[in-house]
Amino acid sequence: MRNNQSTLSLVFIFILLVYILKLFGIITLSTGKIISYAFLLYGIVSVHLTLGTHRRAGLFLGTSIFLTGVVLFIVEYFDIIQPGVLVLPSLLFIVGIGFLMLFFDDFSNRVFLYTSGVLVFFSFLSAFLTKKVPLFGFAGRIASGLLDYYPVFIILLGVYFLLNRKR
């Protein structure tokens, strides 16, 4: 419970700091962007604190909040004409990845893996069948953005391996 309170405190401090910076005109972010960043921050910290502790509800909730932040981030930053068509595929994908994280927490429970696979498959199927979600164009834009930032990912990966190497 203490970790959850510190995580919420961290997120509230982040939101307060961002709103103060916005109030003074230092940054210009919409409320939707601030909420998406807060969801991303809370989700990352929550998943980090609950992964490996067999606290399934916290892990599932943290994963869901993080992925909801990702969806809000995508809707805010990309020109999606009808964001309402993302609801069903996003919901299926979020729940599916939540079950995948539960499987990563407990490898012996394979029902989480199978449930995840089915839900993620149906999320892509529902997005493909509506034909209003431009998956290939969207994936191309994300891939080009990732290609611009690949040195950052390589540096972060190197720092991670350096910090976690066995001595």
DSSP 78: S
Q: Residue 159, exposed/middle/buried by CB under 10 A (0-12, 13-18, 19+)?
A: exposed
pLDDT band at 139 (very low <50, low <70, confident <90, very high): low
Question: What is the model's pLDDT at position 85?
Answer: 78
Mean per-residue pLDDT over the chain, rounded: 82
Q: Tell me the pTM.
A: 0.74
Question: What is the model's pLDDT at position 142?
Answer: 63
Tens digits of residue pLDDT in 102-123: 998 888 889 999 999 999 999 8
Tens digits of residue pLDDT in 15-26: 888 888 888 888
Question: What is the model's pLDDT at position 133?
Answer: 59
